[in-house]
Structures are given as structure tokens and as C-alpha cells.
Amino acid sequence: MIQDPLTVWNGPYPYDALAPAGVTPAYSHAQMAEVSFTLMTRRMMNPRTQKAWNELRDLQRRLLADFLLYDVDAAEEIADARAELAREFAAPTETPEAVRALAMPVEALTELTGELAEVVLDSAPPVSGQPLFGVFPPPSLIDSLIEFDR
């Protein structure tokens, strides 16, 4: 079970507060009545856990707490997603446009090439002005920047 990330609860969420005692949403209502014994024997009973236990013993409050949980089996969801991907890769489908383009006869393409106008490029403009970063530094400057351990 996954808790809704936008859950707002007055105080700590009951299942979070009782998680150290092993309480989960899978606990039956009868098992919830016995949780106080576990809390007391493990010396975990405090106002926070007492409030959470009381909330989960009350049927309406427990239903509200359970309503904010999603029953998600991650292993099953991942297996379903992998199976769907395997089906997609096994039988790839093309879009209708791609099917029409691939079905076009080669002769039609040859006719189209004759209709294309020849592309004429103008000559490149001359390069003028200073280079963007000035001139390359002389070797003497580079040598003065490098120091070796002696």
C-alpha cells in the first residue's frame, strides 16, 4: 500500500506512527484491538502511538485512513509494463503517414527528383576584422605560465 503524497492528517498518520509495532493496513480490525499489548510490552506506548491506535480502532477513522492508501503491487505493475513493452517491440506498428510513404513506388520518387530545382549557393562573404579572441599568444608567454618542479 502506498500513501497518497498529498495526505494531510491531524498529527502523525496512524500507520506511520504504529509502523514500528508492525501495524500495516493488512491488519484485521480484531488484530488492531491486540496492538495495545504489543505497544506496552515493547514500551512503545506514548501519546502519539496511543492516538494512532485509537484512530485505527475507530471504524470510521480507520476507513478514512485506508481511503488515503493506494493498493499497488509494484512487482505486478513492473511485470505488466515489461510485458506491454515486449508486445510493442515484437509487433511494431507504423503511423499511417509512414505506411503511405513507405508504400510509394520508386518510379514516383524518380519523377519527383526531376521536378526539383537545382540549388545554387552564393559565394561565402569575405572574412574581415580581428579574430574574436585576438591573436594567439607567443610561445614566450606560454612558457612563462608553465612552471615545473625543480
For the chain, the distance separating the N- and C-terminal CA atoms, rounded to the nearest angstrom, is 67
The answer to pTM > 0.85 is no
| CA 110 to chain CA centroid, nearest Å | 47
Task: Give the residue-averaged pLDDT of 129-144.
Answer: 70
Given the DSSP bridges, would you call strands 69-70 and 2-3 parallel, antiparallel or unpaired? antiparallel
pLDDT of res. 88: 80
How far is 11 from 48, CA to CA, in rounded Å?
Answer: 8
* Cell numbers placing 120: 545554387
Predicted confidence (pLDDT) per residue in 28-48, tens digit? 888 887 887 777 777 778 888
Percent of the chain with pLDDT over 70: 93
